[in-house]
Amino acid sequence: MTQELPEKRPEIVLALIAEKHYLIEGETHMNAMIMGNGPYPTPILLVRFPDPAKIEEVFGTDFDPGQHWRINERAIKRLHDEKAFLEIDA
């Protein structure tokens, strides 16, 4: 389900690329978000990239997902269950 972006950009941004979730922004909140052991800002913006060509369009030609933290799927499932995501398609 694609949702509308809020006026204020969320502090945590994840990208879903080739069925893998990467932390793009919000590293200071990463531990609390992943472990669920403290407060973290919500919603978390989850940008889905169904078309790989959009990655370059959004992040530029130098973007390398390998330079970003990959988020464990158990954490992603928990965040989905908690309805922490604001999901959009790129």
Query: Over the stretch 13-47, which tens digit does the pLDDT of each residue have?
Result: 999 999 999 999 999 999 999 998 889 999 999 99
> Is the predicted pLDDT of residue 1 greater than 60, yes or no?
no
In this structure, which long-range contacts are made by residues 9-14, counting pairs with CB atoms below 8 Å and at least 24 apart in sequence?
9/45, 10/41, 10/42, 10/43, 10/44, 10/45, 10/86, 11/41, 12/40, 12/41, 12/42, 12/44, 12/45, 13/44, 13/45, 13/47, 14/44, 14/45, 14/46, 14/47, 14/71, 14/85
Determine the average pLDDT of the residues in 61-78. Answer: 93
Instruction: With cut-offs at 50, 70 and 90, classify the pLDDT of residue 4.
Output: low
Task: State how far the alpha carbon of 63 is from the alpha carbons of 37, 55, 88, in Å.
Answer: 30, 8, 19
Alpha-carbon gap, residue 27 to 17, rounded angstroms: 18
What does pTM read for this prediction? 0.88
